[in-house]
Each structure stands twice: as C-alpha cells, then as structure tokens.
Amino acid sequence: MSSPESFAGADARLNEEALAYHELPSPGKTGIEIKKPARTQRDLSLAYTPGVAEPVRRIDADPDAAYRYTNKGNLVAVITDGSAVLGLGKVGALASKPVMEGKAVLFKHFADIDVFDIEVHAKHPQEFIETVRRIAPTFGGINLEDIAAPHCFEIEQILIDELDIPVFHDDQHGTAIIIAAGLLNALELQDKRLEDARIAVLGAGAAGVAAIRLLITLGAHRGNIFAVDRQGVIHTGRRDLNPFKFGIAADTDKRTLADAMDDADVFIGVSGPDLVSEQMLASMAPRPVVFALSNPVPEIRPEVARQVRDDMILATGRSDYPNQVNNVLGFPFIFRGALDVRASRINEDMQIAAVHALRDLTHEPVPQSVLDAYGLEHLEHGPDYIIPKPFDPRLRRAVAPAVARAAVASGVARIPYPEDA
C-alpha cells in the first residue's frame, strides 16, 4: 500500500520537474505558428494590407466565409474564471493559466485544434458570460474550464442558448462521457445492466451532477441513484438544495454515504481523498464497480480496496493504475467532430455518440503502439481494460466521426461530415 509519505515524495520530485518544464527553455507551453509565407514584400502585402481587404469584404458580405478565409473553424477558446482549478480550488484567473495552457497542448497534440487560453477576472457569473459573449466571434468553439458549481451550470446554459458555436464545459460533460463509457463496459463484465444498477455518487459538483444526468439519459433508473455531498445524501426532504442538486435529489430515507453504498452495485467518486472506508466497500453488492476518481489520492486507495474485495472492477483518475478515467479521451475528439461539421452546439446526441464510440473501441484489438507506450505485452477488454488508453491513436478516427455524424443527424451541423459529402 502506498503511504501518504510516498505520495508526498513522488509529488516533490514531480513538482521540481514540472517547474523546469514550464520555465525552460522559455516560459510557458504554447506559442503561435505562422501558417503562410512571410518572407517577401509580396507575402506581407497578401497577409496584411492591401491584400487582407478582400477577405474582409467577403466575410462582411457572408459571415460563413470566415470559416474559409480565417482560422475560426479550427480555433477553440479554453476559458476560465479560476474558481475551481483541478484540486486547488479558487486560485483565481492568473494562477489558472498553466492549466489552460496545458489544455491547449492536449487539444493540439491529440486533435490538431488550435487554442487561445483565456483567463477572465470575473467576480460574478454575468461578468464572465458577457466576456465570452463579446469574444465569441473569434472562435469555432468554447471550452469552459475549471468553473465552480453551481455557477458553471448557469454560465454554460446561457452561453449555449445565446451563441451559435459549440459551448462545452469539460468538467461536466467530458468527465460524464468518460465515466459512462467505462461504466457500461464494467457493468457488462460484471453481468449487470445500467437499468437495474444501484449507484452511489460521492460529489455533487459539476462532474457529479453531469454524470448522473447522462447516466439517466442512457437508461439508469433515477430512483436507484443516490448522490452524496458534504451534508450527506441529497434527498427530496432537504431544504438547502440549489436547483441543480434538487434535480438529482432522491426520494429516500438514506442519509449518509455508508447508507448510499450499502448494497450498491456502483460507486462513483468525484470528491476527495480517503473518504470511503473498508466497511463501506465491503457493504456493496456482489461484483461491484468502483470509480474512485479523486486525484491524486482516490476516495479509497486501490491497494486497500483490493484487500477488501476481489470481485470488483476498479477505475481511478490516475495514470499509474489500470482503467484511468481521463478527459483527454473525450474533449479533443468531441470538439474535432463538432468543428468538422461546423456544429452550432454539442448536444446530447453527440455526447451519447462519444460514449458509445469509446465503449466500442475498448472491444477492438489493441495496437502494438499502445502496448509499447504503456510497457505492456498484452491488453484486451476485461476488468483491467474498460476504457481506451489516452495514447491510443485510434481515438480520433473513432470518436470524432461519431460525434460529427451525430451532429449532422440531429440537425445542428452546418455542413455534411466531409467523408460523407
């Protein structure tokens, strides 16, 4: 079992490496690439004045021409107010910038999407909404990031309603999509069905609420889902619930996390370290599925969990254990699909398409390049492989087309998927 001290020692080494990585040889992780020649006077006359006037006139006459003559169609804003940054909390806009730059790296590396990271000093949700609204014409999509609940729900919904480009809060829907894909595979292996599963969810912020909503859409029974926050089970008798928590409240006499986990088929943790006891895990139903996703320390440590249950399937948010639930499996390719058909939004149909694309990919033979990347000799669908690996090169060609075609089929695409045109 890993001790707190071993986690701390590893973290100290990683911290020093991370500081050097971010500072050297020049500060930051991203820059701007010029895609057109700029070597001669002729080049400059085309890039700027007088040549630039003609694409301006074309866009003025037809706004959709911006997708032809500018980078709008492949440019996403990763934007935050710094109110809920990773496990660090409300660190503010400026301190959140390394995370937003990191997100830009992932977009570019995995899906070849360009990103401007934007950190907004906003005391109130309306200030943030107004900022995004005003800068939206620049972009083909908006990725909201690290915004605290419950404001994140309001912010996203208003922007979805008002803008004509995809607005996606990855901490909500990205996490929910990866959880759902892994959970469907895990339940299949445990010979259980989502429709029948009793589910305990610890954490009722952005990820927890979105996961519950998506699982219900996929067939989970609302009466079988018990969400737990700092005050206990979220039930219909509580008077301290905001509208978003009330929407997932259960009509139940369960009051504690222990109550919620008793005889549960599934535990999903999106909360904090070491909150699940051995007794709680032991009380779950036979063949349980445990998603302990708190990072870096899970709700129950895998070494402890395996001593208690030998019949469970376990996932974490860490890369050094099997079954890492990692948002990078989703958001780059979801946006790639949306941008490829100029979607006006990322709707429920597109999210469900991503879930099934990820789920199905895990059933296919694993390429040698994935085995090499993770130092493995063999990997196949099973208890230690319920979700694809982040460095699987098939993710883009599996998820992005599924999302794009769902956008076309659901009527939010402006153009056909290129391969189907």
Would you call 48 a catalytic residue per the annotation? yes
What is the model's pLDDT at position 10? 63
Burial of 308 (0-12, 13-18, 19+ CB in 10 A): middle
What is the model's pLDDT at position 9? 58
Which DSSP state fits 235?
A: B
Burial of 170 (0-12, 13-18, 19+ CB in 10 A): buried
> CB under 8 Å to 343, separation ≥6 — which residues?
166, 337, 350, 404, 407, 412, 413, 414
Length of the chain: 421
Q: Which of 355, 381, 322, 352 is nearest to 178 (CA)?
A: 355
Say whether the peptide bond before residue 150 is cis (omega within 30 degrees of 0).
Answer: yes
Distance CA 254, CA 25 (A): 55
Both tokens of 259, joined, read: 């109550």
Across the chain, mean pLDDT equals 95
> CB under 8 Å to 224, separation ≥6 — which residues?
196, 197, 198, 199
Q: How far apart are the first and last CA of the chain?
A: 55
Question: Longest C-alpha distance within the chain, in Å?
Answer: 76
Distance CA 105, CA 288 (A): 36
Q: Are strands 232-233 and 266-269 parallel, antiparallel or unpaired?
A: unpaired
Both tokens of 39, joined, read: 């070597």
Establish how many alpha carbons lie within 13 A of residue 240's alpha carbon, considering only the half-sphere containing its beta carbon.
Answer: 6
What is the model's pLDDT at position 162? 97
Measured at the CA of 317, the angle between CA 156 and CA 216, to 5 degrees, comes to: 50
Would you call 385 a catalytic residue per the annotation? no
Radius of gyration of the chain measured on its C-alpha atoms = 22
Q: What are phi and psi of 379, to 5 degrees?
A: -155, 130
Q: Which fold has domain 60-165?
A: Rossmann fold (3.40.50)
**Active-site hit among 103, 192, 245, 254:** 103
| Contact (Cβ atoms closer than 8 angstroms) between residue 232 and residue 257 | yes
Does 173-316 match 60-165 at the fold level? yes
Question: Where do the domains of the chain lie?
Answer: 60-165, 173-316, 327-420
pLDDT < 70 regions, the chain: 1-10, 421
Q: Count CB neighbours of 205 within 10 A.
A: 20
Percent of the chain with pLDDT over 70: 97
Q: Count CB neighbours of 329 within 10 A.
A: 26
Both tokens of 121, joined, read: 């000093």
Distance CA 29, CA 302 (A): 33
Q: What share of the chain is helix, strand, coil (3-state, %, to 5)?
A: 45, 10, 40
Tell me which CATH code domain 173-316 carries.
3.40.50.720
| Contact (Cβ atoms closer than 8 angstroms) between residue 341 and residue 407 | yes
Distance CA 27, CA 29 (A): 7
Q: Are strands 232-233 and 167-169 parallel, antiparallel or unpaired?
A: unpaired
Q: Count CB neighbours of 105 within 10 A.
A: 13
What is the model's pLDDT at position 8? 53
Q: What are phi and psi of 26, to 5 degrees?
A: -145, 150
What is the model's pLDDT at position 1? 42
Which DSSP state fits 420?
A: G
